[in-house]
Amino acid sequence: MRIKTGYIACVGRPNVGKSTLINRLVGTKISAVSPKPQTTRRSIVGIKTITDEDRIIQLIFIDTPGIHRPKNEISSEMVKNAIEALKSANLVYHLIDASEGIKGEDIDIAENLKLIKMDENTVLGLGSGTGIDMRIKTHPHIFCLLTKIDLVKKEELLPMMDEVGKWSIYSEIIPISALRGYGIDDLLKTTIRYIPDAEEILYPQEMVFGHPIRILIQEIIMEKIYNNVHMEIPYSTAVEIEEITERENGMLYIKATIYVEKKNQKKILVGKDGQKIKQIGTLAREEIEFLMNKRVYLDLWVKVKENWRKNLQFVKRIYFSE
Ligand SMILES: Nc1nc2c(ncn2[C@@H]2O[C@H](COP(=O)(O)OP(=O)(O)OP(=O)(O)O)[C@@H](O)[C@H]2O)c(=O)[nH]1
Ligand SMILES: [Mg+2]
């Protein structure tokens, strides 16, 4: 039996479709998606295991926070977390949103990726304050994925493919639409060609989510907030899962606290007569029930924690510890 396995890090600017792609590749929702940039706050590991007659292939995808210029403790930790994911990668997908065209930030990321391909010891500076000493062992191949091609005409796509080709960084350039599923089979087939042989697979075959279940629940609640609450408020929101208990009747009891930074944000999040928080709770509960195939009681609390985004200890506790 031949075994192949490897880590594939998915990086790019915020909102280019990294999480949508990861969900599509592993075949189920594991990472939050929203139209707002900076939805993903920590790297999320999703696993796809393909078995056929004579081989097992395990692809370990790492979704990462969008790389941007950080403004506070949480965004700087997010960018560091994204860059850390490159350290273990055998292959990197650099996503560029074709519907928006190539931006300066895409070029900055590409230039930094070029360094990790070539140098043993690289200090990556993707955004100020994020210089990270890389000590690359893997020298990953890098694919350019031009995303959201369902929104782009062919005449517009071809010049973009030419342009990124000139950068001489990418082993492959593949246009995709993660939303519609275009180009995904081609991407998977090509990916498998670049994944090394291995002695054994790293995760059990049936596993798709590489973290404790608490983190999946946190992602789901966060996603409902990003998609249902007014403009800036999701950015001031943090979700902490405090308890998950299986009750005797088989029901899962989940207690979560949603932190906001100011009193008036709490008012908006709770809504008139508690309508907003109830809507978020219902949407999140339905999705958790679907994913876990269990009845769920979701107990949501809203608390104010002033300026938590600048509180490194708090940020680490909620998002960067397992
Ligand atoms: N039309 C179209 N929209 C897409 C596609 N892929 C993603 N989107 C949309 O783009 C938005 C951002 O998608 P995400 O997957 O959250 O993007 P991301 O790169 O993970 O964003 P961050 O986590 O904020 O860095 C969402 O509204 C998606 O529905 C696509 O192939 N076509
Ligand atoms: Mg994301």
In this structure, what CATH number is given to the domain that contains residue 30?
A: 3.40.50.300
Mean pLDDT of 34-44: 96
Amino acid symbol at 94: H
Contact criterion met (CB below 8 Å) for 322 and 212: yes
| Domain match, 219 and 183 both | no
Contact criterion met (CB below 8 Å) for 75 and 68: yes
| Domain match, 112 and 224 both | no
Contact criterion met (CB below 8 Å) for 241 and 218: yes
- Residue 200 falls inside a structural domain: no
| Domain match, 159 and 296 both | no
CA 154 distance to own-chain centroid: 28
Cα distances from 149 to residues 11, 17, 185, 289, in angstroms, run 18, 11, 15, 33
| Domain match, 143 and 253 both | no
Alpha carbon nearest to ligand 1 atom 6, residue = 17
For residue 144, the CA-to-ligand 1 centroid distance in Å is: 16
Alpha carbon distance 17, 315 (integer Å): 24
| Domain match, 164 and 311 both | no
| Domain match, 182 and 241 both | no
Contact criterion met (CB below 8 Å) for 137 and 116: no
pTM score above 0.85: yes
Query: Quick check: 127 pLDDT over 60?
Result: no
Cα distances from 59 to residues 205, 209, 263, 278, in angstroms, run 11, 12, 44, 38
| Domain match, 296 and 169 both | no
Say if ligand 1 is within 6 A of residue 66 CB: yes
Instruction: Locate 195 and state its tokens.
Output: 């994944």
Q: The domain containing residue 86 runs over which residues?
A: 2-194
Residue 128 confidence (pLDDT): 53
Residue 124 confidence (pLDDT): 66
Residue 135 confidence (pLDDT): 61
| Domain match, 114 and 28 both | yes
Which range, of 118-122, 293-297, 305-309, 315-319, averages the lowest pLDDT?
118-122
Give the total number of structural domains in the chain. 2
Alpha carbon nearest to ligand 1 atom 9, residue = 17
Partners of residue 243 on adjacent β-strands = 255
Torsion angles phi and psi, residue 257, rounded to 5: -110, 130
Alpha carbon nearest to ligand 1 atom 23, residue = 40
Alpha carbon nearest to ligand 1 atom 10, residue = 17
For residue 249, the CA-to-ligand 2 centroid distance in Å is: 36
Query: Quick check: 22 pLDDT over 80?
Result: yes
Alpha carbon distance 311, 302 (integer Å): 18
pLDDT in tens, 128-166: 555 666 665 667 999 999 999 999 999 999 999 999 999
Q: What is the DSSP string of 279-303?
A: HHHHHHHHHHHHHHTS-EEEEEEEE
Partners of residue 136 on adjacent β-strands = none
- Residue 263 falls inside a structural domain: yes
| Domain match, 81 and 217 both | no
- Residue 204 falls inside a structural domain: no
Q: What is the DSSP string of 95-118?
A: EEETTT---HHHHHHHHHHHHHHH
Which ligand has the minimum distance to the alpha carbon of residue 14?
1
For residue 86, the CA-to-ligand 1 centroid distance in Å is: 21
pLDDT in tens, 251-278: 999 999 999 999 999 999 999 999 999 9
Which is nearest to 176 in space by CA: 168, 193, 165, 188? 188
264: domain CATH number is 3.30.300.20
pLDDT in tens, 57-94: 999 999 999 999 888 889 889 988 998 898 889 999 99
Query: Atom of ligand 1 at shortest distance to CA of 37?
Result: 24
| Domain match, 134 and 237 both | no
For residue 12, the CA-to-ligand 2 centroid distance in Å is: 10
- Residue 207 falls inside a structural domain: no
Query: Atom of ligand 1 at shortest distance to CA of 151?
Result: 1
| Domain match, 188 and 225 both | no
| Domain match, 224 and 161 both | no
Q: What is the DSSP string of 235-261?
A: GG-EEEEEEEEE-TTSPEEEEEEEEES
Number of Cβ atoms within 10 Å of the Cβ of 317: 12
Percent of the chain with pLDDT over 70: 94
- Residue 201 falls inside a structural domain: no
Residue 115 confidence (pLDDT): 82
Query: Atom of ligand 1 at shortest distance to CA of 36?
Result: 24
What length is written for the chain? 322
* Residue in this structure with the two tokens 């308890």, named with its chain if needed: 243
User: Of 11, 33, 180, which is best to mutate to test ligand 1, by the most ligand atoms within 8 angstroms of its C-beta?
Assistant: 33
Average pLDDT, the chain: 93
Question: How sure is the predictor about 121, in pLDDT bands with cuts at 50, 70 and 90?
Answer: low
- Residue 202 falls inside a structural domain: no
Q: Which residues surround ligand 2, an ion (CB under 5 A)?
A: 18-19, 39-40
Say if ligand 1 is within 6 A of residue 184 CB: no
Alpha carbon nearest to ligand 1 atom 8, residue = 17
Which is nearest to 66 in space by CA: 110, 12, 145, 112? 12
Residue 302 confidence (pLDDT): 97
